[in-house]
Structure 1
Amino acid sequence: MNITRRRGAIAFFITLGVLLVGLAVTLDVGWIVVTSERTVWFIVLGILLFAALIAGVVLNTVFLVREINRNERQDTFLNAVTHELKTPIASIRLYLETLQRRPLDEPQRQEFYKVMLADSDRLLATVEQVLKAGPLGQRHRQQNRAALDLESLVTDCIAVTLQRYHLPPESIVLDPTPGDVRLFTLGIAEDLRTAVLNLLDNAVKYSPEGVHVRCSLAIESYTRVTLTIRDTGVGLAPDQFKRIFKRFYRVPERSTSKIKGTGLGLFLVRTIARQHGGTVTAESPGHNQGTTVTLTLPRANPTTQSAL
């Protein structure tokens, strides 16, 4: 249904553009003939109408280009999701068939179980990301919010990421909070956990030459808390700092073409941050110089509780 709607929109804009161009040419030629025997007011009126038609053509072109770009991003998303779903399923099936057909010793069986569990986690993460993109992107989350200890939440997310990618503990490090202060924010634990996991997931995936991620928590202007995640990966060009948070967007560079993903992770992070009254930003010194992502949230009192 969405594909049909997009095709209808593109057809509408193309038809409108053709009609506007035809009308503009007809008016321009006709007005030259008419105004040869008329007053200057007709000439001025003709110029204004012609300018309005040209503006309409320009706007139509802009909307058409946006629609085509959106369509391409969604096609890329569907291809990425298809790959992310098929690959772990095919892997799990292969190991199950091997277990069924061949007698294996216990160490091999345990290794197979380990790989299948990892593939199941990958499959589940993709499904959850797709399922969350719709509800989070369409409306405000009406759930109970509570004061959350950010250090505990980030520590838990780091442990999950290390286990998911089979990384040593020193790959992702959380620096001590200055002053040994416990920092809280008011929010939905499940959503904030999703945001932090997606940030860590991106930092790991875009560090193909080795994972070295540092996380830090700090107070900003006494009323806000910042979580900063720095990696030493492929980096970003300045024109990508805002685009990476758009739905379905993937960085169009050769160095990242082999990195798989749905294009939803950072979109979810931005959506969750906004729904919690916060922001998320990205910056990078340049290519292969790493990326720093900063998630900013309102600071809360440990005893704060809200029903909204």
Structure 2
Amino acid sequence: MASLYDKLNSLSTLRKSYPLKFLAVAFLGIHLPVIGLIVTIQFTDLALRPWLAVLIVVGVTLLSSILTLFILRELTLPIRQIASDVERYKATRKLPNWNASGADEVSSLMRLTEDALRSLENSRIRQEDLSMLLSHDLRSPIGAAIGLLEVLPELDDNEKELRLKELQQLMRDQLAFIDVVLAIQKHENISAYDEMGDVSILHSVKEVVESLSTSTKNKRINISVSVQNELVRANQNMLRQALTNLLTNALKYTPEGGQVRIVGRPDYSKHYLLSIEDTGIGMSEETLNGLFNRSFNDHMKGTRGESSMGLGLYLTKTLLSNQGASIQAESQGEGQGSKFSVSLKLA
């Protein structure tokens, strides 16, 4: 903010009104020539030098006009700052931080504009997150569907029927997932949406493990499940998608013949702790620090060269946080495996 504006804000009579500040400066500027004329009449013999009064009044008028325009320009600096910072946000998405403390119309405009820009930025981030969410979590099932369709001609009738049912369930799950994502877009927070309910954690884990049984068999990975059954407060489709992402990651980064342990139990603070631990390639401390960041760009290949967009864990965190859950990752280092722990609210 301009220092002149701050100084005028320190005057109690001008603090709450920007137009009054403007009028006070304009009033002084308009009356400076009058003050100059009064001084001239008081100390000058106009009968002897009448031209001197004219020169003084003209000079004071010009000086006061220039001074008034300069002061008014300084007084409008906060408004020009708002316009400049809004333009900068449009170009760079850098949010302003004005910390407006005044009580007049301009300070109110600053606060409202700052709030509006922050709300807009949050909305833009949510839209980008949803776009990434859809692009990331629709690629895997589409790839799986293509793989099933490619092997169908080589299967016998019984196996073909099983694979078709698997494909049908896969498509239904993804359709339900898209519906929930669209619901988040509409309601912004899934916890305020009526699809939150009491979900059996053991049932959800078993469904996820079963859905990834083909990948498990292909890599000969042993999955052990030790999950104490409880009801947790969650959205069933969103929770299943988050768990699918975590288990898919564990299978992707665990070599053939490795192990994955899924352990779950309630704690003593009305939460349920579920962990997925693998004997895979592990992570460095640097990777751990940026793992859940939106800007994380580490496209690590799986142990069989599986591709990665680098978005899965950030999106998994988004899925969980939208349900009031949290996630953290641990690893002793590269080659030492990884552990992901999810904390869910008990029903």
RMSD: 5.0
Q: 1:208 to 1:55 in 2, by over 3 A?
A: farther
- Normalized against structure 2, the TM-score is what? 0.50
Deviations 1:157-198 (A, max 9, x none): 334433454268863223476xxxx54434555554444333
Match of 1:161 among 196, 212, 219: 212
**Alignment identity in percent?**
16
Q: Which runs of no fewer than 5 residues in structure 1 stay unpaired?
A: 1-33, 100-107, 244-248, 301-308
Name the residue aligned to 2:326: 279
| 2: CA distance, partners of 1:169 / 1:89 | 21
Cα drift, residue 227 of structure 1: 0.9
- Counterpart residue type for residue 44 of structure 1: E
Which residue number in structure 2 is paired with residue 135 of structure 1?
183
Tell me which of 246, 262, 266 is aligned to 1:215: 262
Mapped to 1, the partners of 2:157 and 2:87 lie a distance apart of 64
Q: CA 1:261–1:109 in structure 2 vs 1: closer, same or farther (change >3 Å)?
A: farther
Given that residues 84 and 260 in structure 1 are in contact (C-alpha distance below 8 angstroms), is that contact kept between their aligned partners in structure 2? no
Contact 1:147–1:184 under 8 Å retained in 2: yes
| 1:136–1:268 CA contact under 8 A, matched in 2 | no
| Contact persistence 2:215–2:251 (CA under 8 A) | no
Aligned amino acid, residue 259 of structure 1: S
Which structure has the greater CA radius of gyration? 2
* Residues 260 and 276, structure 2, Cα contact 8 Å, conserved in 1: yes
Matched, 1:58 2:93: no
For residues 197 and 259 of structure 2, what CA distance do their matches in structure 1 show?
Answer: 33
Where in structure 2 are the equivalents of 1:142-221 lying within 5 Å? 142-143=194-195, 145-146=197-198, 148=200, 150-151=201-202, 153-163=204-214, 165-166=216-217, 171-175=222-226, 183-187=230-234, 189=236, 191-207=238-254, 211-221=258-268
Aligned length: 245
In the alignment, which of 274, 290, 302 is matched to residue 239 of structure 1?
290
Q: Distance in 2 between matches of 1:279 and 1:192?
A: 12
Offset, 1:295:
1.9
Deviation at 1:80, TM superposition (A): 8.0
Asked whether the equivalents of residues 199 and 232 of structure 2 are also in contact (C-alpha less than 8 Å), the reply is yes
Per chain length, whose mean CA-contact separation is higher, i.e. which structure has more relative contact order (CA < 8 Å, sep 6+)? 1
1:252 aligned partner: 297
2:269 is paired with a residue of what secondary structure?
A: coil
Q: 1:115 to 1:210 in 2, by over 3 A?
A: farther
CA distance in 2, matches of 1:239, 1:120: 35
Partners of 2:288 and 2:329 within 8 A in 1: no
Structure 1 position 74, deviation (Å):
3.8
Q: Relative to 1, partners in 2 of residues 1:128 and 1:41: Cα closer, same or farther, differing over 3 Å?
A: same
Amino acid at match of 2:208: C
Q: Which moved more, 1:151-160 or 1:254-263?
A: 254-263
Question: What does residue 9 of structure 2 align with?
Answer: none
Letter in structure 1 aligned against 2:244: L
Whether 1:292 and 2:339 are equivalent positions in the alignment is: yes
Shift of 1:219: 3.4
- Flag the 1:261–1:279 CA change in 2: closer, same or farther, 3 A: same
* TM-score after normalising by structure 1: 0.54
2:30 corresponding residue in structure 1: none
> How far did residue 294 of structure 1 move?
2.3
Distance change >3 Å, CA 75–CA 170, structure 1 → 2: closer
AA at the equivalent of 2:232: T
Q: 1:164 to 1:90 in 2, by over 3 A?
A: closer
SS in 1 for 2:224: strand
Alpha-carbon separation, structure 1, partners of 2:89 and 2:341 = 35
Compared CA separation, residues 269 and 82, structure 1 to 2 (3 A):
closer
Is 1:38 paired with 2:67? yes
* Preserved CA contact (<8 Å) 2:320 2:327: no
- What is the CA distance between 1:238 and its match in structure 2? 1.4
